[in-house]
Chains A and B, each alone.
Chain A
Amino acid sequence: MTAVTAGRSTRGIVDLVFRARELSIVAALAVLVAVTAGTNGNFLSAQGLKDIFLNASILALLAVGQSFVIITRNIDLSVGSVVGLVAFTVGDVLAADHGLGVGVAIVLGIVIGGVCGLVNGLLVSFGRVPALVVTLGTLYIIQGLDHAIAHGRQINAVDLPESVLSLGNGSVLGIPYLPLIAVIVMLAVGYYLRSYASGRDFYAIGSSPEAAGLAGVPVRRRVMAAYLLSGGLAGLAGVLWLARFGTVVADDAHGWELQVVSAVVVGGVAITGGVGTVYGAALGALLLTTITSALVVLKVNPFWQQAITGALLLLAISVDRLLALRVARILRRRNARHGS
């Protein structure tokens, strides 16, 4: 009996510590927004708020997919290339046939992204090649494919149907479509990871792949699923990219994979797997993009922006390490007290 309550309250404390991790991002965000808005009220005007969420949506979507993969102790470096490939190919298809609508664009984008994810997943889970190498390889392959298809062309806003362009800057009940999509995806994925047994498997794999395998978790299938989801979301992000920016060339979203990984890590997902939530990752994305916007409004020299992102990453990793040590100590003390 005591063991059960002790177990429950320990989990409660551990939960609380990690919830505090997400709350700390919210707090940082609040301080940042308050200071910036204090200097310039326009930052929190209706247009300013809309901009903040619009800026973060695509990165947040990618961060949700990426955190899924990182939680299983893997990584997907190909997402930037997938966004570029999807944005261009979908744009190309839409430019050729104006009759196609947003629905076709989104489905096509998710399918292309999903195929890329499938290749990654197969190589990592069944080929047993380290994820870093596999996805670095597919990063270049997909980029090369994009270049071959684009062949120096450019998709312009005028080539795209009005419905797709309005997905980029339109809104429903005053809420722009892009953040709406990002939030719905985040909530759905977050709920699945937390509340379904198969969702918990991903954490088990990340904590210890061997132990998870011995405990009967279908490791390969789950890792495969993580890559499929990451690829599919990158495909969706590619369509949103097209809708938002309107002008697309072959090397769009070049280098975004590192921004995505940064957002995920700042958001409290441990790069070593097994820890973190998609909410944290999405908040990390919101924080990073808002910092960039805030520094512009605060008229800080742009040379500082990258340095600040770097400092935040180091801070996030230090906080994670401290938290991990504290949790380990709490658990040890509890166990000792209850003599288990």
Chain B
Amino acid sequence: MFTSSRRFTSAVAMVGLVSLGLAACGGTTKESVSSQAPAAPEQSSATANPNAPLKEGLKIAFLPKQINNPYETIVDKAGIEAAAEYKGTAKEVGPSDASASSQVSYINTLIQQQQDAILIAANDANAVCGPLKQAMTKGIKVVSYDSDASKDCRNLFINQASSEEVGRSEVKMLADMIDHKGEIAVLSATANATNQNTWIEFMKDELTKPEYKDMKLVKVAYGDDDDQKSFQETQGLLQAYPDLKGIIAPTTVGIAAAARYVSGSKYKGKIVVTGLGTPNQMREFVKNGTVEKFALWNPKDLGYLASYAAASLASGQITGAEGEKFKAGKLGEFTIGKDGEVILGPPFTFDAQNIDDFDY
């Protein structure tokens, strides 16, 4: 049920996105978004054979931002499982610190191992560029996911959700819960986190629509993805704005901290907390009534899609040019958008009814 509705909605999202011409930026920096204009994918010179079967025995490797990150572990595990479906072998390698320089040495090793495809969640869009280009000249397909590398050093970018969709849907979700009235605040990660800042820009834009005229964004606070800091920022918001009706925390650390604080304070039931979180971390707070609903894409689907995209590239089904289509197993067909972006779909909303269907 979950996947089929997803398939439909993701197609809708895709059409909307292409027509808007507003390919959102995921993990890249703002500068690279504005410089996306002259998009002439060099790969389009190669020919794609959409009817080519997926090759068996493909070797692919996932290179996450850092191993030990629970979120990336889920993504990569799903991708490795997907590889078993098309009879390939996949593995996850990566540094224990989220730095670009340590990713570079892993890329070099993977090139020497002659992998068929490298999937990377880039720690820095530009710093990993050199070695990735080198991989591409040796015929290795490069797919970025979660956080993009510069667009000329990868074949495809698998975007977890369009940034626009994430930002706007967060506002809609909160507005429904507070009857479109009252003061609201945002509890973000760090002040220069690219993902969050892009989402917040779209939230602000959504709030300018007439249906939100009675809602006011009073403050964007930064919890630095640190538990204690996020606690204190939440306390501060509630003290400084006594009329606050809702908090949007578009970061998994922030939403868990805000929910945990509110659940143990006098504000429980008086303030709406929502944002982006994983079902496992939020289950307690949905069950005890602190949080009614929140959203996230399915990280398993992200890994699954990235894995299939890499296999399709390595089998010659697609080259990464705009408009090409490929099948991603149980998720159905996807179309490559502008600048080699493939969007997984709109974020999925979790609430008390459906939360127990998910375990991640």
- Which residues of A are in contact with B by a Cβ distance under 8 Å? 40, 42-43, 45-48, 51, 55, 58, 144, 147, 150-154, 156-158, 165, 168-170, 241, 244-247, 249-252, 289, 292-293, 296-297, 299, 302-303
Contact = CB atoms under 8 A, between A and B. Distances in A.
Nearest to B231: A55
Contacts of B253: 247
Given A158-B280, A292-B229, A296-B233, A302 B72 contact: no
A6 to B, nearest CB: 49
B280 A156 contact: yes
Given A48-B239, A246-B260, A292-B232, A152 B69 contact: yes
Contacts of B334: none
A11 B131 CA distance: 68
Contacts of A168: 264
Nearest to B240: A297
Contacts of A247: 227, 253, 256-257, 260, 281
A45 B229 CA distance: 20
A212 to B, nearest CB: 37
B287 A158 contact: yes
B333 to A, nearest CB: 31
Among all A-B residue pairs, the 8 with the closest Cβ atoms? A296-B236, A169-B264, A152-B73, A157-B284, A158-B284, A154-B70, A42-B239, A158-B283
Task: Describe B's contact surface by its main secondary structure.
Answer: helix
B96 interface: yes
Nearest to B256: A247
Interface string B64-86: 00011110110000000000000
B62 interface: no
B192 to A, nearest CB: 10
A169 B73 CA distance: 31
Contacts of B242: 42
B266 A147 contact: no
Nearest to B67: A152
A191 to B, nearest CB: 29
Given A157-B285, A246-B256, A296 B221 contact: yes
Contacts of A289: 228, 232
A124 B67 CA distance: 32
B284 A40 contact: no
B281 A150 contact: no
Interface string B269-289: 000000000101101110100
A293 B266 contact: no
A98 to B, nearest CB: 13
B191 A303 contact: yes
Contacts of A46: 266
A45 B260 CA distance: 20
Given A152-B68, A154-B281, A302 B191 contact: yes
Contacts of B113: none
A173 B75 CA distance: 46
Contacts of A299: 219, 240
Contacts of B43: none
Contacts of B281: 154, 156-157, 247
Chain A CB within 10 Å, residue with most, of B67, B257, B284: B284
Contacts of A302: 191, 221-222
A296 B240 CA distance: 8
Contacts of B240: 40, 42, 296-297, 299
Interface in B317-354: none
30 contacts: A43-B239, A45-B239, A48-B235, A51-B235, A144-B96, A147-B96, A150-B68, A152-B70, A152-B73, A154-B280, A156-B280, A158-B284, A158-B287, A165-B284, A169-B264, A244-B260, A245-B227, A245-B228, A245-B256, A245-B257, A247-B257, A247-B260, A250-B68, A252-B227, A289-B228, A293-B232, A293-B235, A296-B221, A296-B232, A296-B233
Interface string B224-250: 000111011101111110100000000
A46 B96 CA distance: 43
Chain B CB within 10 Å, residue with most, of A45, A153, A157, A252: A157
Nearest to B73: A152
A293 B219 CA distance: 15
Nearest to B286: A158
Nearest to B253: A247
Given A153-B73, A157-B260, 11 more contacts: A40-B240, A42-B242, A46-B266, A47-B265, A47-B267, A156-B281, A158-B287, A169-B264, A250-B68, A293-B232, A296-B235
Contact of B239 (A150, A169, A245, A297): A297
A297 B236 contact: yes
A303 B222 CA distance: 10
Contacts of A241: 227
Contacts of B70: 152-154, 249
Contacts of B67: 152
Given A47-B266, A158-B287, A247-B227, A293 B236 contact: yes
Chain A CB within 10 Å, residue with most, of B67, B70, B236: B236
Contacts of B263: 169
A270 B221 CA distance: 35
A22 B40 CA distance: 67
Contact of B260 (A43, A55, A245): A245
Chain A CB within 10 Å, residue with most, of B232, B263, B281: B232
A150 B68 CA distance: 7
A4 B30 CA distance: 73
Interface in B6-56: none
A245 B261 CA distance: 8
Nearest to B222: A302
Nearest to B64: A152
A151 B68 contact: yes
Contacts of A170: 264
A251 B225 CA distance: 11
Nearest to A45: B239
A252 B68 CA distance: 12
A248 to B, nearest CB: 9
Contacts of A296: 221, 232-233, 235-237, 240
A35 to B, nearest CB: 14
A169 B284 CA distance: 15
Chain B CB within 10 Å, residue with most, of A152, A165, A252: A152
Contacts of B233: 296
A27 B69 CA distance: 43
Contacts of A153: 70, 73
